[in-house]
Amino acid sequence: MITQDTPMVTVSGLGRTYGSAGGDVHALQDVSFSVERGTIAALVGRSGSGKTTLLNCLGGLDEPTSGTVVVDGIELTSLDERARTALRRDRLAFVFQTFGLLPMLSAAENVGLPLRLRGAAAKERTARVAHLLDLVGIGAQAAQRPGELSGGQQQRVAIARALANSPRLLIADEPTGQLDAESGASVMALLQSVVRAEGMTAIISTHDLSLQAMADQTIRLADGRLA
């Protein structure tokens, strides 16, 4: 039975090996940890230490070679692709370094896209989008396209979009990697405040020391292993 005490994420003995021309690459080896509900975990490690691979395995975007990943009481490795897609849509949200916004859509349309895909009524969509844009502080830029926004503003739109379907778990891969120090800090502060306000759980990979300071837990990887 899932209770408030069940961790949001439990990773056990996780391994991911990629075959490559130069031989096998052990991107992750025997990684185990858990993340409690309502907390923020910072994922840190040098370039190539396995952070993206780990986040992709957590989000069901990549399949582990060994071990298990349990998200919100559901073991991902036991699901078929269709069930994994449903889990991603209903419970998870992703934020990437490169924002991933659709260039031809306005900020508001980008944020409304997950609601549209879920079949939400137009009235509900409009209200939720306005709320989310205000929440991330870009209500005034609702009609602008990504190309007309700064990097920090684009990441705010991406965060608002990630929150659209009220996910349980937010997975962010270096969300401030493309931003200057000042906008990076403000995006991190925003992420922290929305995750706390919505009672979500977040796992955020970062090189940013200030995020590590504000996280409840730090998961440190070195050469694919927990350090």
Ligand X SMILES: Nc1ncnc2c1ncn2[C@@H]1O[C@H](COP(=O)(O)OP(=O)(O)OP(=O)(O)O)[C@@H](O)[C@H]1O
Q: Is residue 194 within 8 Å of residue 163, measured between CB atoms?
A: yes
Work out which of 1, 20, 80, 121 binds ligand X, going by CB under 6 A: 20
Considering the complex, what minimum distance in angstroms separates the CB of residue 24 from ligand X?
9
Considering the complex, what minimum distance in angstroms separates the CB of residue 128 from ligand X?
32
Task: Considering the complex, state which of residue 18 and residue 148 has its C-beta at the smaller distance from ligand X.
Answer: 18
Considering the complex, what minimum distance in angstroms separates the CB of residue 124 from ligand X?
37
Work out which of 25, 79, 130, 185 binds ligand X, going by CB under 6 A: 25
Collapsed DSSP state (helix, strand, coil) of residue 7 = coil
Task: Considering the complex, state which of residue 69 and residue 164 has its C-beta at the smaller distance from ligand X.
Answer: 69
Is the alpha carbon torsion for 48, 77, 87, 6 positive or negative? negative
Task: Considering the complex, state which of residue 19 and residue 119 has its C-beta at the smaller distance from ligand X.
Answer: 19
Q: Is residue 37 within 8 Å of residue 8, measured between CB atoms?
A: yes
Task: Considering the complex, state which of residue 157 and residue 219 has its C-beta at the smaller distance from ligand X.
Answer: 219
Antiparallel, parallel or unpaired: β 9-20 and 23-35: antiparallel
Contact string (CB under 6 A) for ligand X, positions 29-68, x = contact: ----------------x-xxxxxxx---------------
Instruction: Determine, following the binding rule CB under 6 A, whether residue 22 of this chain makes contact with ligand X.
Output: no
Collapsed DSSP state (helix, strand, coil) of residue 109 = helix
Q: Is residue 67 within 8 Å of residue 14, measured between CB atoms?
A: yes
Pick from 198, 151, 196: which is nearest to 175 by CA? 151
Instruction: Determine, following the binding rule CB under 6 A, whether residue 149 of this chain makes contact with ligand X.
Output: no
Kindly report the number of other CB atoms within 10 A of residue 76's CB atom: 20
Residues that bind ligand X (CB under 6 A): 18, 20, 25, 27, 45, 47-53
